[in-house]
A and B are shown apart, each in its own frame.
Chain A
Amino acid sequence: MKTLLACTINAEAHTVLVDVRDTLLDLVRERIGLTGSKEGCGNGNCGTCTVLLDGAAVNACLVLALEVAGREVVTIEGVARVGELHPIQSALVESGGTQCGFCTPGIVLAAKALLDTNADPSEQDIRQAIAGNLCRCTGYGKIVDAIATAAARLRETET
């Protein structure tokens, strides 16, 4: 069964035809064509489908597309400005916090949700914020470093 859905994705208003069974992940990948969000486990364990829903990190595979009617979604495609990476992204590049890259979109958004509400997170805060994001390559150390670096840079630009 198909139905019309209106919501905002990466600051752009969308009205799309969705199947009632579509998840938010199906919506962004299959209906809108934003394939940066990945499907790993499909049941909320791996976090690679993480997007922001009204600013909060959620697993897009655990949300029905219809649940986001009228709400605001940010995917990895909405994080960088044209030609300029977000500080979290550039810090991940510099510190080698990304290897195969499959978990990276989810990590960036989980970190963004943290830094948007906590400008000066402890290492424990950072580890907790990405506890729902599995990375099988890095061992997390460089990811945690990168998020701390990004936090420090963001604090500098604000003052």
Chain B
Amino acid sequence: MRTFIYVAPPSIEDAIGELRRGEARPLAGGTDLLPQLREGRRNADRIVDLKRIAELSAIRPLPQGGLAIGAAASATSVARHDLVAARYPAIAASARLLGSVQVQNRASLGGNVCNAAPSADVVPALICHEASAQIAGAAGRRNTPLDEFFAGPGRTVLEADEVLTALWLAAVPPRSATTYLRFTPRREMDIAIVGVAVRIDLAEDRSIALARVALASVGPTPVRAVSTERLLRGNRLDRDLSVAAATAAANADARPISDTRASADYRRALVEVLVRRGLAACARTLDIASELR
């Protein structure tokens, strides 16, 4: 590993200034960055530790409703946070899937997002909760819906002198359920062959007021399953709709490739199964499971 300068600036403005100097890399949990540096997969002559910046580690309710999760907050602090556990249990659950306890104590949700792995476990549930990526850079602040944040495997829309500061989640209405399911050969410490997050909000008449479905490991980026969502919205969740939604997710929304971990066909079959299970889990939470029989 070549040597570098380590700085831990106290503010976002200072961090952006540091990122503009030479080949700099922001550091949050470091659980991906350190092995990348050591194995020469990434080079940096300046490491900008973001963990001294209070705003980046904070988890706080937003004035307009919803929740801000600081980009550098550890997976453990997110999973244990009262508001996350109460209102966003699918996000708490995905944070607990990030590697081991040791990794969760360091790794951040922002880092998992910025690494832009198509398999990132925390991303599908965040997309279902309408997460927006809050970005700060030399040119000022901007934000983008999380499903438009990814540009390809390992690539995002962030410029070199920009940092992800927080993930803003929308407020959760009553009669809303979200779940994240993944398939891995091993229960722990494994990468999702397919991950599926499903969110269903019910209207007064029990039709689906809002549907959000997001998929991991079935494309070059995390995938928002728009045709599946379109099919679900406005309808009542029953067995036929569940089957149709799962088929649409597998065939219209998922764009999997075959690789060492699974074939494309196997991944499509998994998407179908996991979407149906995800819908069933939401139906149980919403107390409409009987309609799926």
Contact = CB atoms under 8 A, between A and B. Distances in A.
Q: Do A and B bind each other?
A: yes
Contacts of A50: 102
Interface in A1-51: 1, 3, 19-21, 23, 42-45, 47, 50
Contacts of A110: 101-102
Contact of B30 (A20, A67, A129): A67
A59 B103 contact: yes
A21 B3 contact: yes
With a 10 A CB-CB cut-off, give which of B35, B39, B76, B101 has the most chain A CB atoms: B101
A103 interface: no
B49 interface: yes
Given A110-B102, A131-B101, A44 B6 contact: no
Interface of A: 1, 3, 19-21, 23, 42-45, 47, 50, 53, 56-59, 61-64, 66-67, 110, 113-114, 128-129, 131-133
Interface of A is mostly: mixed
Interface residues of B, number: 28
Contact of B34 (A1, A45, A64, A113): A64
Interface string B260-286: 000000000000000000000000000
Contact of B35 (A56, A62, A63, A131): A62
Interface in B1-17: 1, 3-6, 8
Contacts of A63: 30, 34, 106
Given A62-B34, A132-B101, A1 B3 contact: yes
B5 A58 contact: no
B31 interface: yes
Contacts of A64: 6, 27, 30, 34, 47, 49
Interface in B31-51: 31, 34-35, 38-39, 47, 49, 51
Interface string B185-204: 00111000000000000000
B144 interface: no
Contacts of A62: 29-31, 34-35, 102-103, 106
With a 10 A CB-CB cut-off, give which of A56, A58, A62, A133 has the most chain B CB atoms: A62
